[in-house]
Structure 1
Amino acid sequence: MAIRQRENGFRDKFERYIARDRHDADLRRKALTAITAKMARVVHAVIKTGADYRPFVEGPVPGGRTPLSRAVRA
């Protein structure tokens, strides 16, 4: 299950969702439903675009520099 891995966006969202009361079974059920919906959206996008799954999207670096992994190589 994705929420059992240490670092990924699914676990982060699950943790944020249940932060109010970690022992509330109803809240945990709702959190699992939200994570399931998020996973379905991600799978649909990966299949639709044919792109590889990237668990972490690289965002802009503060200061406007382009990260080395996205830099154009000559």
Structure 2
Amino acid sequence: MTKSTTETPESATSPVGHTVTISANRRAYFTEYLSACPSKNRCTRSELRRVMNVYPYHSYAKAKRKRLRAEGT
């Protein structure tokens, strides 16, 4: 039996460590960091902004992907 959750994280962190708060509409806006970010090309091709959508069950899906990688599936 699989445990389900509707947990949604309160913040998101970019690959280089920039942390932003997730808005009420479940979006994380990294716009303020984009112009000076040395790793911008890893996240977006946009010159203006980077927005990440965080959906319900995000934590569950992330944990499942991690477990599958560990099993070699």
| TM-score with structure 2 setting the length | 0.26
Larger Rg: 1
Instruction: Considering fraction of residues, name the structure with more helix.
Output: 1
Question: Which structure is richer in relative contact order (CA contacts within 8 A, separation 6 or more)?
Answer: 2
